[in-house]
Amino acid sequence: MDMERAIAVTAFLLVLLLASSQQPADAGVRRRPPTLARHYASLLRRHQQQQRGEASAAAAGGGAAAAVVPSPAVQYETRYYTQRLDHFNAAPGSAATFQQRYLVNGTFWRGATAPIFLYAGNEGDVELFTNNTGLMWEAAPRFGALLVFVEHRYYGESMPFGGARAAAFRDADAKGYLTVTQALADYAALVLSLKANLSAPAAPVVLFGGSYGGMLAAWMRLKYPHIVMGAVASSAPILSFYGLVDPYAFYDRMTHDFKNESQHCYHVLRKSWHVLDAALATSEGSARLKRTFKMCNGSGVVDIPSLLESAVVYAAMTDYPTPSGFLTPLPAYPVREMCRAIDRSGSGSGGGGTDDDDDTLYRVRAAMEVYYNHTGAAACFRGEEDDDPYGMYDGWDWQACTEMVLMTYGLSNDSVLQPPWTFNLTDVLDSCRNDTGVPPRPFWLETQFGGFDIENVLRKSASNIIFFNGLRDPWSTGGVLKSISDSIIALVEPKGSHHVDLRFSSDEDPDWLKQVRAKETRIIARWLKQYYSDEGIAA
C-alpha cells in the first residue's frame, strides 16, 4: 500500500500493520488487532509469488516455505457438513445452508466412548491450525481420541451463499452472519451430528483452541457445557475488551520484550521510525534507503516501515524457545536474535558505526534480516500485500469492527513503536462504523459471556477450562492469569509466547515447556476420569 493511499483512507486500513512513522497523529485508527493467521496469509502469498517466478530465483527461498510443510504425523480426511446459515432466527431465509469443512483423523480412536478432541477453528484456513496444533496429535494416541478440526464460517472453504467469497462478503447483509455466537452454534450442531453418525452419544468432547480459537474454546465451554466437557484455551485474550484491559497494554508488553533483551536495541528501534520517516520525505533519503535495503521488484522503500513493524510485532508474538516455521523460518527467541543483530551491526564493517542515521538504518536492516531471511536464501525484501487472496482479511476485518473490538490500539510514550498513539474509543468505533456501515457492538461479548469480575463469572458458571498464557506474548495482557477453582486452571509461563503449548514438541524444548504440556495432559486425564465416573462408563 503506497503512502498516498494510506493517508487517504479514513476508516480502518485493510493492511494489518501500517508504519506508525508515516501516520500523522490525527489520521484515525491505524491497525487491526494482529493475528498470526492474517500475517501468515501475507507471508504465504509472498512465498507463492516467489514459486511462480515473480521474484528472482535467489529470493525464492525467503518466504514462508517452512510454514506450509506439515508434520508427517498430520494425516486427515476432509469432510463437509451441511450447516444452517442462521441458528437464531425462524425467518424463511434463515433455513439457508452452506458447506462447512472439517478434517478428521480416526487412526487412534478407540470407539464409541473414547474422547473426541475438537479444534475450534479460528480466523483462517483450518489446515493452517491442523498443521500447527501438535499437542492434539501427540496426545491422541494416549487417550484413544478422534481428532476433528472444524473450519470457522467465512474462512477457508466454509463460505455461505454458494461457497464463493465474493458472495459471502458482498455487503453487510451477507457478512452479518459472521458472528461468534453463530460460529459456536455451528460447532455445537456439527458435534451432535458427528456423534450421532458415529453412534457415539456418550463420547466426551474436549475442545482445543489458540488465540481467537482459544477464546472460542472457553466461550463454548461456557455456552454449551452439555456438548463440550472441557476446553484448552491457549493464549485466549478473553479480557481484551474495553473496560477490562488497558488499551496500551498490548504494545507495552511487546516493548518490554525488546527492552528486556537490550536497552540499546530498544532505543535503536524507537529512533528508527523517525529516521525512516525523514528519509522517505526526501529523494536523497529515499535513495539512501534504496542503497541500504534491497527491495524486490514490485516493492519499494515505502514498504520498509510496514515490514519492520510487522517483524517487531510478530517476533514478540512468536518468541518461541526453539526454531519455528509457523509464519516464516525463525530462530529460537527471535526477539533476542533481532536485538543481537541490532547490537552488533552498524554502518562500519563489523559494526561499531557512529550513532547517526545511517548507522540506525544498517542496524534495522540487520534485524529485518533475522525475521525475513533467517535462512539466508532471500536476495531482497518483498513488501507486504494488502489484498485478500486467502479469505482471511475480509473476515477478521469485519469481526474486529463489529463485536471483536479488541483493545490493541494505544501506543504509550515509551513504546518501541513510534510516534505515540493516544487511544480514543470514539475514534475506534467511528472508524469501524465508516468501514462496515453498521454500528459496532464493543460490549456485546462481555454481555454474552461475562467479562467484568471474570473470576466470579467463571467460578459460578464454568468448570474444566485450562487457560495457558506465556508472558512474552503481548496477548497475555488480556488473558486469565490466575486459577479460579480446581478445574478453572491458569498455567502462566514467564518465558512462554503465543500458544507455544499447542505446537509440536521438539527435543530442543526447554523443561518449562515440557512441564506445561505434561500438566495439560494430566488435567485432561483427570477430567476424563471424572466424566467416565459420573456417567458410569468403564474408561
Q: How confident is the model at residue 24 (pLDDT cuts 50, 70, 90)?
A: very low
Q: How confident is the model at residue 355 (pLDDT cuts 50, 70, 90)?
A: low
Q: How confident is the model at residue 8 (pLDDT cuts 50, 70, 90)?
A: very low
Please choose, from the candidates 210, 247, 212, 298, the residue with its C-alpha nearest in 3D space to the C-alpha of residue 31: 247
Give a three-class secondary structure readout of 116-127: EEEEECCCCCHH
Residue 169 above 90 pLDDT? yes
Spell out the alpha helix ranges (H) of 406-510.
425-436, 444-449, 454-461
> Which residues, including other chains, have CB under 8 Å from residue 91's CB and lie 6 or more apart?
none
Residue 283 above 70 pLDDT? yes
> What span, in angstroms and rounded, lies between the C-alpha atoms of 183 and 177?
9
- Sheet strand arrangement including 230-234: 77-84, 97-105, 146-150, 116-120, 205-210, 230-234, 465-470, 488-493
pLDDT digits (tens, 9 = 90+) for 30-72: 567 887 766 666 665 555 555 444 444 333 333 333 344 567 8
What pLDDT is stored for residue 65 in this prediction? 36
What pLDDT is stored for residue 47 in this prediction? 55
* Catalytic residue chosen out of the listed positions 21, 211, 306, 476: 211
> What span, in angstroms and rounded, lies between the C-alpha atoms of 304 and 384?
9
pLDDT digits (tens, 9 = 90+) for 122-144: 998 999 899 999 999 999 999 99
Top-confidence residue, 393 or 220: 220
> What span, in angstroms and rounded, lies between the C-alpha atoms of 186 and 162?
17
Spell out the alpha helix ranges (H) of 437-510.
444-449, 454-461
What pLDDT is stored for residue 377 in this prediction? 84
* Residue 41 burial (CB count, 10 A): 26
pLDDT digits (tens, 9 = 90+) for 473-520: 999 999 999 999 999 999 999 999 999 999 999 999 999 999 999 999
Query: Residue with C-alpha cell 477464546?
Result: 215
Look up 211 and say whether it is catalytic.
yes
DSSP tag of 330: B
Phi-psi domain of 182 (left: phi exceeds 0; alpha: psi -120 through 50; beta: other): alpha
What pLDDT is stored for residue 4 in this prediction? 40
- CA 389 → CA 38, 42, 45, 124, distances in Å? 11, 9, 8, 12
Look up 473 and say whether it is catalytic.
yes
pLDDT digits (tens, 9 = 90+) for 440-453: 999 999 999 998 88
> What span, in angstroms and rounded, lies between the C-alpha atoms of 494 and 470?
6
What pLDDT is stored for residue 309 in this prediction? 93
Task: Please answer whether residues 406 and 478 qualify as being in contact, where contact means their C-beta atoms are separated by less than 8 angstroms.
Answer: yes
* Catalytic residue chosen out of the listed positions 473, 497, 501, 509: 473
What pLDDT is stored for residue 392 in this prediction? 75
Q: How confident is the model at residue 299 (pLDDT cuts 50, 70, 90)?
A: confident
- CA 518 → CA 46, 217, 497, 505, 514, distances in Å? 37, 20, 17, 11, 6
Global model pTM greater than 0.85: yes
> What span, in angstroms and rounded, lies between the C-alpha atoms of 469 and 471?
6
What pLDDT is stored for residue 314 in this prediction? 92
Gyration radius of the chain's alpha carbons: 23
Phi, psi values for residue 22, rounded to 5°: -100, 5
> Which residues, including other chains, have CB under 8 Å from residue 317's CB and lie 6 or more apart?
34, 36, 473, 474, 475, 497, 498
What pLDDT is stored for residue 345 in this prediction? 82
> What span, in angstroms and rounded, lies between the C-alpha atoms of 265 and 261?
8
SS3 451: strand
What pLDDT is stored for residue 328 in this prediction? 78
> Which residues, including other chains, have CB under 8 Å from residue 276's CB and lie 6 or more apart?
19, 21, 289, 304, 305, 308, 361, 364
Task: Please answer whether residues 209 and 231 qualify as being in contact, where contact means their C-beta atoms are separated by less than 8 angstroms.
Answer: yes
Q: Give the bridge partners for 306, in sequence order.
A: none
Q: How confident is the model at residue 92 (pLDDT cuts 50, 70, 90)?
A: confident
Distance from chain centroid for Cα 409: 16
Residue 300 above 80 pLDDT? yes
Q: What is the mean pLDDT of the chain?
A: 87
Please choose, from the candidates 499, 501, 497, 526, the residue with its C-alpha nearest in 3D space to the C-alpha of residue 514: 501
Question: How do strand 205-210 and strand 146-150 relate by DSSP bridges?
Answer: unpaired
Q: How confident is the model at residue 464 (pLDDT cuts 50, 70, 90)?
A: very high
Helix or strand (DSSP H, E) at 205:
strand 205-210
Q: What is the mean pLDDT of residues 174-180?
A: 97
Task: Please answer whether residues 331 and 372 qualify as being in contact, where contact means their C-beta atoms are separated by less than 8 angstroms.
Answer: no
Mark 170-179 as b/e (b = at least 16 C-beta within 10 Å).
Answer: eeeeebebbb
* Catalytic residue chosen out of the listed positions 498, 499, 501, 509: 498
Please choose, from the candidates 311, 347, 432, the residue with its C-alpha nearest in 3D space to the C-alpha of residue 39: 311
Distance from chain centroid for Cα 40: 9
Question: In the chain, what percentage of residues exceed pLDDT 70?
Answer: 84
Please choose, from the candidates 471, 210, 468, 212, the residue with its C-alpha nearest in 3D space to the C-alpha of residue 316: 471
pLDDT digits (tens, 9 = 90+) for 204-263: 999 999 999 999 999 999 999 999 999 999 999 999 999 999 999 999 999 999 999 999
What pLDDT is stored for residue 390 in this prediction? 56
